[in-house]
């Protein structure tokens, strides 16, 4: 039992560290492709908000992450979509978040 807990702890720490690294200062030398557009559809229930899809950088390539319906964490929350920002280092991604 202790081994399972220890292994689970290591996996969780590794996941957290990789997520922090992904949100850290990583830059890409070329711009992402234009966004994709499509049919949004009907919300799965009341109170859901649509988060647009975006180009994510994975494994040395841009990969489309499709949009999705999400429930806000509180009544007045608004979704701030992710955006690629150009700087002198290249293109950096600011992930979407609730405000």
72 class by beta-carbon count within 10 Å (0-12 exposed, 13-18 middle, 19+ buried):
middle
Regions of the chain where pLDDT drops below 70: 1-25
Please tell me the predicted confidence (pLDDT) of residue 34.
96
Please tell me the predicted confidence (pLDDT) of residue 21.
44
Token output for 64: 């489309």
User: Is residue 9 in a domain?
Assistant: no
Please tell me the predicted confidence (pLDDT) of residue 31.
96
User: Is residue 82 in a domain?
Assistant: yes
User: Is residue 58 in a domain?
Assistant: yes
Please tell me the predicted confidence (pLDDT) of residue 60.
94
- Are 80 and 99 within 8 A, CB to CB? yes
User: Is residue 66 in a domain?
Assistant: yes
User: Is residue 60 in a domain?
Assistant: yes
Domain that holds residue 83: 28-98
Please tell me the predicted confidence (pLDDT) of residue 8.
43
**How far apart, in whole angstroms, are the C-alpha atoms of residue 76 and residue 86?**
31
Helix runs in 1-99, H state only: 2-23
Please tell me the predicted confidence (pLDDT) of residue 14.
43
User: Is residue 55 in a domain?
Assistant: yes
User: Is residue 7 in a domain?
Assistant: no
Pick from 25, 41, 8, 20: which is nearest to 87 by CA? 25
Please tell me the predicted confidence (pLDDT) of residue 7.
45
User: Is residue 81 in a domain?
Assistant: yes
């Amino acid at each position: 039992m202790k081994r399972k807990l220890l292994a689970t702890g290591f996996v969780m720490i590794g996941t957290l560290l990789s997520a922090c690294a992904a949100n850290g200062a990583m830059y890409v030398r070329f711009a992402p492709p234009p966004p994709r557009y499509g049919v949004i559809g009907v919300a799965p229930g009341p109170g859901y908000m649509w988060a647009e899809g975006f180009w994510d950088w994975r494994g040395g390539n841009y990969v489309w992450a499709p949009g999705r319906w999400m429930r806000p964490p509180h009544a007045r929350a608004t979704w701030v979509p992710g955006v690629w920002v150009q700087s002198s280092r290249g293109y950096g991604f600011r992930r979407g978040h609730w405000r």
